[in-house]
Structure 1
Amino acid sequence: MTTGEHFSPRPLDRSAKFYVAGHRGLVGSAVWRKLEMEGFTDLVGRGSAELDLMNREAVFDFFAETRPRYAVLAAAKVGGILANSTYPVDFLSDNLRIQVNVLDAAREHEVERLLFLGSSCIYPKFAEQPIKEESLLTGHLEGTNDAYAIAKIAGIMQVQAVRRQYGLPWISAMPTNLYGPGDNFSPEGSHVLPALIRRYDEAARSGAKTVANWGTGSPRREFLHVDDMASACLHLMENYDGPSQVNVGTGTDVTIKELAAIVADAVGYDGEITWDTTKPDGTPQKLLDVSRLAQSGWTAKIALEEGIRGTLNWFRTNSDHVRS
């Protein structure tokens, strides 16, 4: 495809070279699995030891050498409330460099279809619920992860700018809270769901009588299994073309207290659950309006209870690695 040529969404060529940036991470590995299942035969991925995406020259050399036709940018520095609050410079600087390097190199080598993955934290803290795509840049961000959010907003803007200036049909997708096999279960860097899984699993194993969780338990959160996310990524690349980012989620949410109860039940923990209200809650509610995605023909399929049980099984099977 030449720059500026009219594009109509269509099935991707299963034999074309397809680069997944961040293919060993939670989302990237799920995308890789989905593409393999769908018959893509020329997938390209590089671990951080092979290709430092913050090294601009190395990224450009990689694109010049491999010349992928399609790409998903799932590489990012990610973390939960504690990590985002403690290391805002890292979350801003590292993610900006990763994005600018990959997007600039992909544009120079005219990658035909590129999907940029962001996060629902791009939306204002008090955005009207459920959050529509149009809420972007209409209010103040949540202070605990504003640095990460600004980096992701910059990525959306760069994709839109490439569309306007170069005519490449690139798109952006904004997933809700993701979980599943390959998640980060570390005590310092994990998000709420893997943190709860680890905490309750350890409590059940040790026979602890009490488990203390952060905050009040009242915030509402939406959770999407990464295998559903990967399915949505391919669907969007084959069925959507537009400048706006597309929300990806289930359209339903639960309170953190409800989530903790589901995890405790899956783990088999029957002790007392307490809440440390001196710790931050974060955004009171973060539910995405997924009507645009639904109108394109895609809805989530993996129920939360089913997904949590599968993730717990993965965590227990791989505990030697994730507990290091």
Structure 2
Amino acid sequence: MDANINKAVIEKQTKIYVAGHRGLVGSAIVRNLEGKGYTNIVTQTRLELDLMDSAAVNHFYDTEKPEVVIDAAAKVGGIYANNTYPAEFIYSNLCIQNNLIHGAYQAGVKKFVFLGSSCIYPKMAPQPLKEEYLLTGPLEPTNEWYAVAKIAGIKMCQAYRKQYGFDAISLMPTNLYGPGDNFDLQNSHVLPALIRKFHEAKQSNAESVVIWGTGTPMREFLYVDDMADASVYLMENYSDLDIVNVGTGQDVTIRELAETIQKVVGFAGNLEFDTTKPDGTMRKLLDVSKLSAEGWQAKVPLEQGITQLYDWYQKNLA
């Protein structure tokens, strides 16, 4: 740990503000905190607190006085949204995190947990992705606006840590999935999109399900409740300038993913791969040796996580 850091002492009654508590990650973090017996969790809806408004954020900090802030708030979207609205993605995310980080420091918050994304790493970085690969090459062009904002957030946490002794840490999750996921076929991620595709194909007795690309790219998937558990664990135990990757350390091909989802959903038809469609990056796997050394490992195997998410999807279809 850095010598000049005022390391936070966190107890079950410590007041913790979870920003973005209605999102996929934020809602899982609230569940995890409650499950671990934290009794003083603060949340604000978008109507109650506009994170783009620095005066409103400062007023919230002054009146609520949280001791810990977990920043799971961000403007997020798939490739299409990132490509179509680059200005909104960079501006919104810079505003949100600037207000939360600077406001937290000014208000005397004891610990700040910033959640980034694996898209911060260079497009052509070696696999698996180590934390030190940050800023060693060009980004993936389709989501560089979001990535640049997240990199700025990491650097801001590091700067406030260096200059002010502010106990801010940054965590980089891999691809997440779980309850509360987005199943919209236009702009959801591959795993929830495939669950919906297979479910609808089963309902309509379709002969086959079409999957974009060759099925050979490899992806890593982390169940969101595991991400939440890691976030709370690192909030309690980690204090350092360096970023920490959060993932499973294992990846599967898109074909293997599709076959697992097909099995869970119980779709009896065939898989068709549309090779005229793009594959995207061939591999994106996080090196999680640092996280393992800190004493945390993912617990939910992929098939179990998909089963849990499919159950949730069926209950929440309406």
TM-score by length of 1: 0.94
**Aligned-pair identity (%):** 56
Q: 1:181: which partner in 2?
A: 179
Q: Which amino acid aligns with 1:163?
A: R
Q: Which runs of 5+ in 1 are unaligned?
A: none
Contact 1:142 1:282 in 2 (8 A): no
**Distance apart, 1:6 and its partner CA:** 4.1
Is the Cα–Cα contact under 8 Å of residues 77 and 187 in structure 2 kept in the other structure?
A: yes
**SS state of the match for residue 293, structure 1?**
helix
Match of residue 138 from structure 2: 140
Where does residue 53 of structure 1 map in the other structure?
Answer: 51
1-side partners of 2:82 and 2:258: how far apart?
22
Aligned to 2:101: 103
Residue matched to 1:261: 259
Q: What 5-or-longer segments of structure 2 have no aligned partner?
A: none
Q: Quote the offset at 1:276 in angstroms.
A: 2.6
| Distance apart, 1:9 and its partner CA | 6.9
Matches within 5 A, 1:56-135: 56-135=54-133
CA–CA separation in structure 2 for the residues paired with 1:228 and 1:277: 33
Amino acid at match of 1:316: Q
Superposed counterparts of 1:11-26, under 5 Å: 12-26=10-24
| 2:14/2:38 contact within 8 Å kept | yes
Q: Which moved more, 1:184-193 or 1:170-179?
A: 184-193
Tell me what 1:192 maps to.
Answer: 190
Q: 1:272 Cα shift? A: 2.1
1:166 to 2:164 alignment: yes
| Structure 2 length-normalised TM | 0.96
Equivalent residues, number: 316
The alpha carbon displacement at 1:174 in A equals 0.2
Indicate which of 217, 220, 225 corresponds to 1:219. Answer: 217
Please report the RMSD computed on the Cα atoms of aligned residues, expressed in angstroms: 1.4
Alpha-carbon distance in structure 1 between the residues aligned to 2:150 and 2:223: 21
**Contact 2:61 2:103 (C-alpha < 8 Å) held by counterparts:** yes
Output one character per residue of 1:259-292: Cα deviation in whole Å (capped at 9) or x when no partner: 1111111111122222233333222111111011
Letter in 1 for 2:52: M
After TM superposition, the runs of 4+ consecutive aligned structure 1 residues lying more than 3 A away are 4-10
Q: C-alpha distance in 2, partners of 1:169/1:219?
A: 38
**Alpha-carbon shift at residue 5 of structure 1 (Å):** 5.9
Instruction: Work out whether residues 293 and 299 of structure 1, in 8 Å CA contact, stay in contact via their aligned partners in 2.
Output: yes
Cα distance in 2 between the residues matched to 1:97 and 1:47: 17
The offset of 1:17, in angstroms, is 0.9
1:18 CA drift (Å): 0.4
CA contact (8 A) 1:80 1:192 kept: no
Q: Is the 8 A contact 1:115 1:171 kept in 2?
A: yes
Residue aligning to 1:310: 308
Contact (CA 8 Å) 1:116, 1:155: kept in 2 or not? yes
Q: Displacement, 1:231?
A: 0.8
Aligned letter for 1:42? Answer: N
Q: Secondary structure at the match of 2:61?
A: helix
Asked whether the 8 Å contact 1:223–1:250 carries over to 2, the reply is: yes
| Farther off after superposition, 20-29 or 59-68 | 59-68
How far is 1:100 from its partner? 0.9
- Measured in 2, the distance between the counterparts of 1:80 and 1:215 equals 17
Find the aligned partners of 1:80 and 1:279 in 2 and give their Cα distance: 16
